[in-house]
């Protein structure tokens, strides 16, 4: 569950940065996106679930925020492919991405949610990002998103990245995330190097190389 203090933190980062784009990966129903768009900041919201996208678009229209928001209906991964979405019955926000081969073809029935996955790098073909702040919550798939994002992070100045990290604490995926972001000059605000002890949501901040 994303807490209000995290929304406030993103709001406070962006309120004095009119030229920074907010990229909301795993936007869900848009708590972060709508808050930032109301500031007048450009907001790009990415979500894989059709119902979330529909609600986002409706909220965008109702709030007269279409000039500030762009909604993308795709999953993000490290290769372009079709992926299956799993949903928790009591938590729409807990939608997670599964590679089809991991689920097994016999488990894919007509009711399965299958969507197209693209790379974060692919967004560079559509948008001319200069500086961004990112929120990423894709239910354990965060490392896979970053594996398809090297060009993005090499090209775009990412000032902050707020990430759902609970699935990666003390795991190889956590090591990959930390090293990938370090390579791109982003370090966790938690000074404890042992990420097994980190909270479920962590903020990575851009540092200037000396």
Domains of the chain: 4-76+122-206 (3.40.50.150)
162 band by pLDDT with thresholds 50, 70 and 90? very high
At residue 112, the pLDDT reads 63
Does the pLDDT value for residue 93 go beyond 90? no
The mean pLDDT value of the chain amounts to 90
What is the β-pairing status of strands 113-118 and 75-76?
parallel
Q: What is the pLDDT of residue 2?
A: 54
Q: Are 49 and 74 in contact (CB under 8 A)?
A: no
Q: Is the pLDDT confidence value at 135 over 80?
A: yes
Q: DSSP state, 104?
A: -
pLDDT digits (tens, 9 = 90+) for 172-184: 999 999 999 999 9
- For 96-100, the CB contacts below 8 A with 24+ separation are 96/138, 96/139, 96/140, 96/141, 97/48, 97/138, 97/139, 97/141, 97/144
Model confidence over 61-73: pLDDT tens digits?
Answer: 999 999 999 999 9
Residues 6+ apart with CB under 8 A from 188: 178, 181, 195, 198, 202, 203, 204, 205
Question: CA 106, CA 89: separation in Å to the nearest integer?
Answer: 21
Q: What's the whole-model pTM score?
A: 0.89
């Amino acid at each position: 569950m994303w807490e209000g203090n995290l929304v406030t933190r993103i709001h406070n980062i962006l309120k004095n940065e009119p030229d920074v784009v907010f990229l909301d990966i795993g936007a869900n129903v848009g708590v972060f996106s709508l808050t930032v768009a109301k500031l007048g900041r450009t907001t790009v919201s990415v979500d894989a679930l059709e119902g979330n996208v529909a609600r986002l678009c409706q909220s965008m229209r109702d709030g007269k925020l279409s000039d500030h928001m762009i909604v993308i209906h795709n999953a993000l991964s490290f290769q372009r492919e079709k992926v299956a979405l799993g949903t928790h019955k009591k938590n729409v926000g807990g939608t997670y991405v599964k590679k089809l081969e991991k689920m097994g073809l016999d488990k894919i029935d007509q009711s399965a949610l299958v969507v197209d996955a693209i790379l974060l790098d692919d967004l560079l073909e559509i948008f001319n990002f200069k500086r961004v702040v990112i929120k990423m919550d894709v239910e354990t798939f965060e490392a896979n998103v970053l594996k398809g994002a090297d060009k993005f992070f090499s090209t775009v100045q990412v000032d902050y990245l707020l990430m759902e990290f609970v699935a990666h604490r003390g795991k190889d995926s956590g090591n990959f995330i930390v090293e990938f972001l370090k390579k791109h000059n982003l370090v966790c605000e938690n000074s404890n190097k042992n990420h097994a002890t980190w909270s479920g949501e962590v903020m990575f901040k851009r540092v200037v190389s000396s």
